[in-house]
Amino acid sequence: PPQLITQGAEALLYKSTYLLPTIPCALKHRPAKPYRHPILDARLTKHRILSEARVLAKCRRDGVPVPAVYALDAELKGGWIAMEWVEGEVVRVALNRWLKRRKVEGKTLDDKEGQEKVLRLMRMVGTAVGTMHSVGVVHGDLTTSNLMLRPTAQEANGSVVDALDGEIVLIDFGLASQSTQDEDRAVDLYVLERAFGSTHPGTEELFGEVLTAYGESFKGAKGTLKKLEDVRMRGRKRSMLG
């Protein structure tokens, strides 16, 4: 039977199997909202499921590291989408574990020793986000909980060398859209930057590596980073005004 993994405001995520018992899959179910008019609810659900599937298919086709779409049903009451199950853990968990270990060892973020792997992880995040933006997709909800760290094939076979090794896979495209505007891309980065600041306090220097790798990931990245400065300014003004 499907195993409930997470429950969000809009959808439930289950771990299930697809076609064969040996093929795990992520089953995202959007339950009907009783407070909405049934016709409006059905239309909204259908639109969101098809939109997410299209974005994932586009990303997959263009080389962005995202889960493959196996099947969907946008007509069924509530609607669902079945995707590839990504092994590993979210970056939030891996990064917090690393930060906790550093604290136990009495090392601060200023201590450069042993930072190579976490800096490499940050660069991988920046490259993955840049690759997604380069194909005209913005995520809409970039946080370290929507970035998976998938172990390499060698590690998946049982010999985990280091918790920070692996590859980044972008997940949860429920709020994603297609856009090539610097403004939209910059807002994506700003949301991720704010998420870093609130979920992993004191990691501003590490996030700099994300932006450095992002800036090198595709031709238009420099324009997005320039626009990010404007978005930050607006964000600061909003904070000051409450």
Domain boundaries, the chain: 3-84, 89-241
Q: Are 78 and 29 in contact (CB under 8 A)?
A: yes
Q: Are 53 and 30 in contact (CB under 8 A)?
A: no
pTM: 0.91
Protein fold of 89-241: Transferase(Phosphotransferase); domain 1 (1.10.510)
Per-residue tens of pLDDT for the chain, all 242 residues: 899 999 988 899 999 999 999 999 999 999 988 899 999 999 999 999 999 999 999 999 999 999 999 999 998 778 999 999 999 999 999 999 988 888 888 877 767 767 888 999 999 999 999 999 999 999 999 999 999 999 986 555 555 555 688 999 999 999 999 999 999 999 999 999 999 999 998 888 899 999 999 999 999 999 999 999 999 999 876 655 55
Q: Phi/psi of residue 100, each to 5°?
A: -65, -40
In a 10 Å sphere around its CB, with 0-12 CB exposed, 13-18 middle and 19+ buried, how is residue 159 labelled?
Answer: exposed
The set of catalytic residues is 141
Q: Which CATH superfamily is domain 3-84 in?
A: Phosphorylase Kinase; domain 1 (3.30.200.20)
